[in-house]
Amino acid sequence: MTSPQQHVFGPVPSRRLGRSLGVDLVPFKTCSYDCIYCQLGRTTNKTTERQEWVQLDEVLAELRDKLSTRPDYITLSGSGEPTLFSRTGELIDAIKGMTEVPVAVLTNGSLLWQPEVRRELRAADLVVPSLDAGDEMRYRHINRPCESISFEKMLEGLILFRSEFSGAYWLEVFLLAGYTAIEAEVGKLAECVKRIRPDRVQLNTVTRPPADAFAEAVAPEAMARLAALFTPPAEVIADYRGVHGQSDFAAGREEILNMLRRRPCSVEDVAHGLGLHINEVIKHVEELNAQGLVEPSLSGGILYYRAVE
């Protein structure tokens, strides 16, 4: 069993990346955004300060131990914004010296206007930034960024990185009912995409309990219709359940279900109780929820899960 302070977790099943070995480079909810749809809850440390939030040596030692799990990707993501880790470039170089497993970075993209951040990500194989709004007002409503990051500054970073990065560049667009899931807003997003020139655009929506209850999912038919407004059409990220059905992930799920049969728990309670990384617990809980085996309930602003008998 692993410790709750672990920096490397999984492999976890990923809709896009197969079996993904996650690397967490910042303390829980250290992020430059506080997105209304965040599956990890509200941001507790909203910052643009880049520093060595975790020990690079410790991360590398954990990674070395986990390479025997033969992941499809090593993914810098986790419980906040990975580019806030000031030694991301050194980390990627060290991983490249250790294995041929490709490195992906899932980022909110908010710091790509900084030349050193762009330089540090250049050695990655795949970079997936987010773009959730087509103007300043909706950007502030949805992503709730640090004051100092304007919409134009963020967008400029996404555009500049494309011109300097030769790896795969996929843009994730998270659509929300009542905010951006209408033609006029998607039209603005599509204009931004023309300027960014990513290799792919992937549309996503709420599939997990969000930070704020007013972040609402977009129905599948509407997602398909809105995807067609991009040129070329965007791809709606496929259902993940097939991946979650893989037997290597069944054991952890059973353990979580047993815990939730005893008492209702938040994902953090489960992570601490079972010594799992919070992102791993989220993956399992969303699968159990989809199967109708657990149900969420909100109490005192915290989302708890209980087993359905």
User: Which chain residues interact with ligand SF4 by CB under 6 A?
Assistant: 31, 33-35, 38, 40, 43, 80-81, 108
Rounded to a whole number of angstroms, the minimum distance from the CB of residue 270 to ligand SF4 is: 19
* CB-nearer residue toward ligand SF4: 82 or 102: 82
Q: Which is nearer to ligand SF4, 11 or 109 (CB)?
A: 109
Minimum CB separation of residue 10 from ligand SF4 in Å reads 17
Q: In the bound complex, what is the minimum distance in angstroms from residue 33's beta carbon to ligand SF4?
A: 4
Angstrom distances, CA of residue 309 to CA of 176, 208, 242, 262: 32, 21, 24, 11
Residue with tokens 């990513």: 198
- d(CA 74, CA 193) in angstroms, rounded, equals 26
Q: How far is the CB of 1 from ligand SF4 (least distance, A)?
A: 26
Q: Match 């480079």 to its residue by tokens.
A: 25
SS3 content of the chain, % helix, strand, coil (to 5): 40, 20, 40
Residue number with CB closer to ligand SF4 (81 or 185): 81
Nearer to ligand SF4, 44 or 258 (CB): 44
Nearer to ligand SF4, 37 or 169 (CB): 37
CB of 225 to ligand SF4, least distance (A): 25
Structure tokens at 122: 């250049």
For 118-138, give one letter per residue: b (16+ CB within 10 A) or e: bebbebbebbbbbbbbbeeeb
